[in-house]
Amino acid sequence: MQLPQHPLQAERPASNLPAAPPPRLFRSFWLGGFESSCHIARSRQRLDMIEITQHDTFAREDYRLLTDIGIRAARDAVRWHKMDHDGRYDFAPLAPLLDAALETEVQVVWTLCHYGWPQGLELLSADFVKRFAAFAHATAEYIKRRSNEVPFYCPVNEISYFSWAAGHIARMYPFYRQRGHLVKHQLVRAAIAAMDAVRTVEPRARFVQTEPIINVVPSPRHPALAHRAIARTESQFEAWDMMLGKVAPELGGGPQYLDIAGLNFYHNNQWVHPGPVGLHWHKEPRDPRWVPLHRMLAYFHQRYRRPLFVSETSHVGVGRAAWIREIADEVAKARGQGVPVEGVCLFPILDRPDWDNLDHWHNSGLWDLQRNGTGKLHRMLNPSYYAEFCRVRDIPLVIKGNLPIEPA
């Protein structure tokens, strides 16, 4: 049986394009991402990772940690569930984060919905879209009053993953099953409405649409299911195609809604269907079906022709150093082949606990967190991860021996 063509597995000739121009989108090529998930987990308890990691309490110190190592851009969040009280807004929880960013001159991409929304608001209702647009408008007004900088927003984090986790497998609230397509449509509507609302306040605003990039390959033991593996790989493009109006044009999409592409990439983003069998990153020799990151970046650039950056990436434990080394090399290769990668976000920059077991910490940050006698989570720089970061942070910017911008 001849297998269908896999979109990411086809061999492509090396690009003859000149090397990508110097990155200019962010204040530094490397960004720090603060874990901001605030959904209702399977325990039926609301998570708030900004609060759990004490980033809300120590925002100024956290942003200083970034600038101390040359990182001057970040991803952070405006927690919708904390600030919208039945259409009345209290931005006090945002104030310390915004103040810290302004004081340290760290450029922030603010996520407006990171899996969580106000209690009592039904996800699939028309009111959800209206409330989110109104919240986005109010947030843009608040930030504009405090800063004259061009703002960056991520309306809805990872629409594809969000719709799968909340709408298909009941991993997070509202714990739907087999309704992922409805959730995806609704989140696209909400993101579009939010962008329109922000632009009425600040026409200069830039928007990042973050999505996981994945590679699902068919199992040779189940050739009849190859089309399902291909379909799962293709599904990663749906949200952006809806934003562009190429798919489900009734949602109101158009070219203006896909501004900056954020690509989230982890070691477990490639797997075999049917599974669960991962294409293990750490095993040598590596599975030949593993698609190197530089090829994935090139594919997305060819498909969408938008500014792009790696908006989330990290590994756990002792693998952190090796992972960042490979990411730097792969991004350098992509930029050398003309793919305009504008940055890489280390996400999370601070360690985080597991959503379903808050006693289990992932050991995935550049800083590990350790509770001291007063209850404060002390930020402890991971030495091997940091040493490798220092070695590789300029690699993506060095093209044929030239350093196109001043290193961080």
Single-letter amino acid code for the residue at 297: L
- 161 DSSP 8-state letter: H
For the stretch 11-27, what's the b/e string if a residue is b when 16 or more beta carbons lie within 10 angstroms of its beta carbon? eeeebeeebbebbebbb
How far is C-alpha 212 from the geometric centre of its chain's CA atoms? 7
Per-residue pLDDT of the chain (408 residues; tens, 9 = 90+): 444 566 776 655 455 678 999 999 999 999 999 999 999 999 999 999 999 999 999 999 999 999 999 999 999 999 999 999 999 999 999 999 999 999 999 999 999 999 999 999 999 999 999 999 999 999 999 999 999 999 999 999 999 999 999 999 999 999 999 999 999 999 999 999 999 999 999 999 999 999 999 999 998 888 888 999 999 999 999 999 999 999 999 999 999 999 999 999 999 999 999 876 789 899 889 999 999 999 999 999 999 999 999 999 999 999 999 999 999 999 999 999 999 999 999 999 999 999 999 999 999 999 999 998 899 999 999 999 999 999 999 999 986 544 444 433
Pairing of strands 277-278, 270-273: antiparallel
Distances (CA, A) of 329 to 52, 140, 204, 326, 343: 33, 37, 33, 5, 13
Distances (CA, A) of 124 to 46, 69, 121, 402: 19, 43, 9, 51
Residue 71 to residue 239: CA distance in whole angstroms: 30
- 169 DSSP 8-state letter: B
Q: State the Cα angle at 217 between 223 and 287, rounded to 5°.
A: 110
287, 216 Cβ separation under 8 angstroms: no
Q: State the Cα angle at 140 between 207 and 124, rounded to 5°.
A: 70
- Which residue in 318, 301, 332 sits closest to 384, CA to CA? 318
Residue 43 to residue 360: CA distance in whole angstroms: 15
Task: State the DSSP string of 22-61.
Answer: PP-SSSSSEEEE------B-TTS-B--HHHHTTTTTSHHH
Beta strand residue intervals within 63-147, DSSP E: 73-77, 84-85, 88-89, 107-113
What does pTM read for this prediction? 0.94
